[in-house]
Amino acid sequence: MTISIVGTGNVATHLGRRLMEQGVSVSQIIGRSEIKAAYLADALGATHATFSANIDPSVDALILAVSDAAIPSVGKQLSSVFQDTVVVHTSGTISSKALQPYFKHFGTLYPLQTFSLNAFPDFNKIPVFFNGSSIFDAAFIRQLAERISPTVYEIGDDDRMVLHLAGVFVNNFTNHLYKIAADIVQQKGLPFEVLLPLIEETVLKIKNNSPAQMQTGPARRGDNITIEKHLSYLTEHIPQYDLIYKILSININPDLTLNKP
């Protein structure tokens, strides 16, 4: 199986590296920036191309690891070259049908993970979701997905968007709660690191039990005295977070008798 990758960011880098390690031949990295494309291509033992020059049209699959907004313009620019290639994008929210105007064989390949440049994720633990524009394309994309991870799911476009939404809660929103907590302890001169063991234990507990079962704390037990202390503190010292505290507490325990916001 021979593939090329469009993009030079975190998803392109980590997917490219994984596929290379799994014995997939990475032919080209295609990028707007020739320098960036050359840099990543070099790391993967591939050649590089820009949208206007040197593109290898003979690959089995093309992975568009670009931003959501760039998908249509990239599709348009590469349409004529890849009519016999299976083209997938890696977006959580964009429909695979966004590729229909440009390609005959298309689909999606969505690893549910947050990628950053310096962290090497363990793909053996990352679920990869895919779909394809025909059962033949889907079967081919499944093979590609299975080279990336042992855990693959075929999933429709709408369901992938829902999965991405769940990802926003556990990744982006959770990270924001960490940021709020960092602001709170740092106001008191304490390092954020004092919270790390608690953060890690919170994750450990939901590995074997549902989060609903593991819920504890003042809201869960209806401890209004503590909740009022916390809200007074927030309102006085760091008021941008008191609404979040209220809404999450009431959502955890709708029987709480707070002044609803």
- Choice between 1 and 199, CB closer to a copy of itself: 199
Q: How many residues bind a copy of itself (CB under 8 A)?
A: 83
162 binds a copy of itself per the rule CB under 8 A: yes
The residue within the footprint of a copy of itself, chosen from 169, 236, 257, 259 (CB under 8 A), is: 169
State which of positions 39-68 bind a copy of itself (CB under 8 A).
Answer: 68
The residue within the footprint of a copy of itself, chosen from 188, 236, 239, 259 (CB under 8 A), is: 188
Distance CA 8, CA 12 (A): 5
Q: Is 83 helix (H, G, I), strand (E, B) or coil?
A: coil
Most distant CA pair in the chain: distance in Å? 68
70 binds a copy of itself per the rule CB under 8 A: no
Strand partners, 64: 6, 89
Stretch that binds a copy of itself, among 25-33, 52-60, 76-84, 197-205 (CB under 8 A): 197-205
x-marked contacts with a copy of itself along 98-137 as a string, rule CB under 8 A: --------------xxx-x--x-xx--xxx----------
Stretch that binds a copy of itself, among 29-37, 53-61, 136-144, 226-234 (CB under 8 A): 226-234
Give least dist CB 247 to a copy of itself, A. Answer: 6
3-state helix, strand, coil in the chain (%, to 5): 50, 15, 35
- Choice between 23 and 158, CB closer to a copy of itself: 158
Q: Is 192 helix (H, G, I), strand (E, B) or coil?
A: helix
H helix intervals, the chain = 10-21, 34-44, 71-78, 135-148, 157-167, 174-187, 196-205, 211-214, 224-237, 242-252
230 binds a copy of itself per the rule CB under 8 A: yes
97 binds a copy of itself per the rule CB under 8 A: no
Burial of residue 161, with CB atoms counted within 10 A of its CB: 0-12 exposed, 13-18 middle, 19 or more buried: middle
Q: Is 226 helix (H, G, I), strand (E, B) or coil?
A: helix
